[in-house]
Amino acid sequence: MPPSQNQYWRSRVVKVKATGRDMAIIYTTHEAKNYRQRIAELLLEQGAWYRSANPLLVRLLICPDSDRQMDLDNRCKVALDSLMNGSLFVDDSQIETLEVRRGPTLKPAVMFVWAEEFVPTRQDNLAWIKAPAA
């Protein structure tokens, strides 16, 4: 399960010696670096990488370890960045369709990932356009 964005990024204020001004620095936490490394190792073990610039359809099923409230979108960006870092795809801008769902409660918490090349059809493109009511 990816860490929440709140646990992934941290910021702190440092004083710039040359100017004496304060400057905010944003950095990834130790937990975030460990998660990214673990995802890269898992993808390598599974032989799961996709080095093409073609568009993708990605599905995420996030199964938390408890029934407490959780923002799915807070985990989504962290997961996608880690998958990109692990070479599942070249750039997250390739993702044309992203589907995220909450799954059943499982211990330990897990996230299932499906990624496939996205080949749009004319019908798929028109599905977003609603016909006017008669």
Angle made by CA atoms 117, 122, 124, in degrees to the nearest 5: 60
| Residue type at position 73 | D
For residue 24, give the H/E element and its range: strand 22-28
User: What sections of the chain are H helices per DSSP?
Assistant: 5-8, 30-46, 72-85, 122-126
| 28 and 98 Cβ atoms separated by less than 8 Å | no
Q: State which fold the 5-10+23-119 domain adopts.
A: 60s Ribosomal Protein L30; Chain: A; (3.30.1330)
The per-residue pLDDT string of the chain (134 residues; one tens digit each, 9 = 90 and over) reads: 777 777 777 888 988 888 989 999 888 889 889 989 999 999 999 888 777 888 899 999 999 988 888 888 888 888 999 999 888 888 889 999 999 999 999 999 999 999 988 876 666 655 555 555 55
| 26 and 9 Cβ atoms separated by less than 8 Å | yes
Question: 12-51 pLDDT, tens per residue?
Answer: 898 888 898 999 988 888 988 998 999 999 999 988 877 7
| 90 and 16 Cβ atoms separated by less than 8 Å | no
Find, among 42, 56, 132, 117, the residue nearest to 91 by Cα: 56
For residue 15, give the H/E element and its range: strand 9-15
* pTM, rounded to two decimals: 0.73
